[in-house]
Amino acid sequence: MYKEICKTFIFAILLGGVGLTAAAQNDTTTKPQRLTIGGYGEAVYNYNFYSDNVFRYSHADRYTESKGHGRVDIPHAVIMLGYDMGRGWSVGTEVEFEHGGTEVAVEKETEETGEFEQEVERGGEVALEQFWVQKSFNRHLNLRMGHIVVPVGMTNNNHTPDHFFSVYRPEGENTIMPCTWHETGVSLWGRAGAWRYEVQLLPALNSNLFNEAGWVHNGSASPYEFRPANSLAGAARLDYTGVPNLRLSLSGYVGNSFNNDITTTVYTESSRYYGALGTVLIGAFDFDYHNRWLVVRGNVDYGYLGDAGLISTRNKNQTTMTGNPYPHTAVGKGAYDGSIEAGVDLLSFANYRMGDRHLYLFGRYDCYDSYIPASGFDNIGWTERQVISAGVNYYPLKHIAVKAEAGVRKFNGNYNDEPFFALGITWTNFNFAH
């Protein structure tokens, strides 16, 4: 039943998206200020009314009466700096602290006879998401070189918290693709009338890091001090904004992922892996519509992995020696996700001028599957999910939002539903000073 609902929903998105509308693009056609300082961040409390036990899917009957668990989190805290160097040259940086960053230190423990210990006091990640130099020839042609965002899908291209109503980033895209996806490469982009294009040359994903729960989500990561780039890949995006308040976008990615790691193996013709490429293909469509009182957004993504059966066999047979950074699970030959959200600004109906204040009442629907199995591999019901939620976004100022969301995650199979509630506060601003 879930597959039929998802197929109907995705088909409706593809037909209905043509009539809907859009948010402004991140790039501006006007001359940038000399110095720009900005960023965004989120602080979240959520309560999950289900068990967080790792066996809640494999032994679902044992966890039907769970009381749930609560969490607080800082999913993202980002600092962005940009500078116009003159003569068409500019630079940009973005440093992101995820889940509070990391607090790791060597400490001298006086209660343990002065012994030195390395302690992890707080988990999290610190990532350099952008670090580039750009030469702008004109509005039609710009060359960007360095560490850049890969604009495949709706969320990667619009990942700040003012571009989605949910408290956390949209679940489907955040599961099956890297998010925010950032690589070191080269990008050409520009505008022509109502069109904006971008094409990129990047290091390909690493199939050793693929898994059943997240498809290629971890494939852009690297546990080393460098990113293996034995294979290169291409990404592209095309946006259309010719209708007032409307953006329609197509984006995609292609690259070979097999043997793109710190060590490569030469396979002979007698090996089962001879000739394997692990080609990753991703296609995405998304739209964004807004007017004075209504915002509607949606997306559909589909991904295909060539040689998925061989990659699954190899990954499951990888060495389990201590320190091995790879998962040991199968990976699907495909994955998909689709979502739609709509919000009505209740304050837009007020009889007096509200300025930058908005109060959106929204509903959201996601469906996705991170594991469409290759031939010879069993299906996994818990990877196919639907998420239904509703809530409010209140903007007391243009750059600050208070979000509340309640919803439920449902599965294709005999698994327990996963109800949740989340509350967050966010900020987004890209020009504090100049």
Q: pLDDT for 32-84, tens place per residue?
A: 568 999 999 999 999 999 999 989 999 999 999 888 999 999 999 999 999 99
How far apart are alpha carbons 9 and 4 in whole angstroms? 8
> How confident is the model over 122-135, as pLDDT tens digits?
778 888 999 999 99
Q: With 50 as the cut, is the pLDDT of residue 306 above it?
A: yes
Q: Which whole-number Å values give the CA distances from 133 to 63, 79, 245, in the listed order?
A: 52, 17, 31
Cα dist from 393 to 15, 77, 261, 340, 402, whole Å? 28, 19, 43, 16, 6
Q: DSSP state, 19? A: G
Dist. CA 139–CA 134, nearest whole Å: 13
Look at residue 295 and tell me whether its pLDDT is greater than 60. yes
The pTM of the full predicted model, rounded to 2 decimals, is 0.90
Q: Which of 263-272, 296-305, 363-372 has the lowest mean pLDDT?
A: 263-272
Tell me the helices (H) and strands (E) count for the chain, helix number first: 4, 19
Domains of the chain: 2-27+34-102+125-429 (2.40.160.10)
Residue 128, helix vs strand vs coil? strand
- The per-residue pLDDT for range 191-249, each reduced to its tens digit, is 999 999 999 999 999 999 999 999 999 999 988 889 999 999 999 999 999 999 999 99
> Alpha-carbon distance 400 to 393, whole Å?
10
Q: Distance between CA atoms of 131 and 293, rounded to whole angstroms?
A: 37
In tens, the pLDDT along 319-378 reads 665 567 788 899 999 999 999 999 999 999 886 667 789 999 999 999 999 999 999 999
Which strand (E) or helix (H) includes residue 11? helix 2-16
